[in-house]
Amino acid sequence: MANLCVAEDFSEELTCAVCLDSWKDPVELMPCGHIFCKACATDLKECPVCRDSVRSTKAPNRTLVNMALQIQVKCRRCQWKGTREQGMTHVCGVSGSSPCAPQTTTPSTMRPPPAPASSFSAASENCAPVSSAWANYGGYNAPPNLGDLWTSGAPVQPATAPAHPRVIEPTGPRPWTLYGLDQSEYDQIVSLFIFFDDDESGNLEPDEVTRLARWLNFANTPQDVKRIFDDMDFDRSGKLSLGEFLTWLRYNKPNPQALYGLTQSQYNTIMMQFHTYDTNQDGCLEMNEFSRLVQNLGDVRDAVTAQRLFQMIDQDRDGVISLHEFLRFRSGKH
């Protein structure tokens, strides 16, 4: 079962690159050594960070595990607060209880509180699950053809950027305020930057930005990716710093109608889930990929229920779930 408790403030080194929350029951992939939540790493054939084949897993360094267990978390349902270790057994609504096993199947998130990964919970073994968690995110009807966020309509605030904006470096005790973000939004962007920095150089090279743009739906064509990269690369160095990335996002907001009624952070969460489980990177989720995703995130209990859900979401009956169908499902509009 997925855990409703999400971390509030923690080191990037203790972040799972799949859900972007702090580690929960972490495992270390071998031979690459990257660490993920056990549920996020289940059935992975290759590491989502470095793309190396996964040969085995092992328990991470105990000191790191202990640090992760002491991270402060908050229950998204009842607002209970405690450590990650306590949160792993927290039950909502039990008098005098701090520990528990959560009662619903709300999944892990990319980075709290941006987005619950699940829009779905099973009411019983005999009925198909119904969408619920995203019910309050507005009534926008998604377009039939999925466009990318920055080229499927004019940006929200194109006039707010100076002709030659100065790069805003992330400094000070509250750097997120420099970019008009709250802390959770800032943390997610930093986590994404680190995730796509494959060579750990501290900068994003053009090929890394290409992957980021595709995974987060910034752009769909090489020409648009190059245009965005050139726009982000303020100093024309051929690579992007974190400051450049954050500054560009500060002045360039996506078309809100392309977000399916979600916040940017929620949308990013869903995109990362989709592409992580799209193992052959063909832009669709096949039955086995979708089944692993919803079971690992705690949306459903078993493969049979996952198959029923797959058939509900596959509106065009082509045997795969497109990104558009997945976004409609996750946004509660299915």
State the CATH number of the domain containing residue 32: 3.30.40.10
CA distance to 1, 9, 205, per residue, from 69 (Å): 18, 13, 34
Q: Of the candidates 259, 284, 319, which is a domain's last residue?
A: 259
Question: Where residue 164 falls among pLDDT bands split at 50, 70, 90?
Answer: low
Number of domains, the chain: 3
**Averaged over 285-299, what is the pLDDT?**
92
274, pLDDT greater than 70:
yes
272, pLDDT greater than 90:
yes
Contact assessment for residue 304 and residue 311, using Cβ atoms and an 8 Å cutoff: no
**Is position 147 within any domain?**
no
The beta strand positions in the chain, using DSSP E, are 5-7, 26-30, 35-37, 56-58, 72-75, 81-83, 120-121, 130-131, 284-285, 321-322
Whether residue 283 is found in the same domain as residue 191: no
| Angle between helix 287-296 and 303-313 (nearest 10) | 120
End-to-end CA distance of the chain: give it in Å, rounded. 23
Whether residue 172 is found in the same domain as residue 226: yes
Question: Where residue 320 falls among pLDDT bands split at 50, 70, 90?
Answer: very high
Domain region containing 237: 158-259
Question: Who contacts 325 (Cβ-Cβ below 8 Å, separation ≥6)?
Answer: 313, 314, 315, 316, 334
**Is position 16 within any domain?**
yes
Contact assessment for residue 149 and residue 255, using Cβ atoms and an 8 Å cutoff: yes
Nearest Cα residue to 110 out of 6, 196, 34, 9? 6
Contact assessment for residue 228 and residue 254, using Cβ atoms and an 8 Å cutoff: no
Question: Where residue 151 falls among pLDDT bands split at 50, 70, 90?
Answer: very low
Lowest mean pLDDT among 154-163, 232-241, 295-304: 154-163
The Cα–Cα gap between 133 and 121 comes to: 9
Whether residue 292 is found in the same domain as residue 302: yes
Whether residue 125 is found in the same domain as residue 51: no
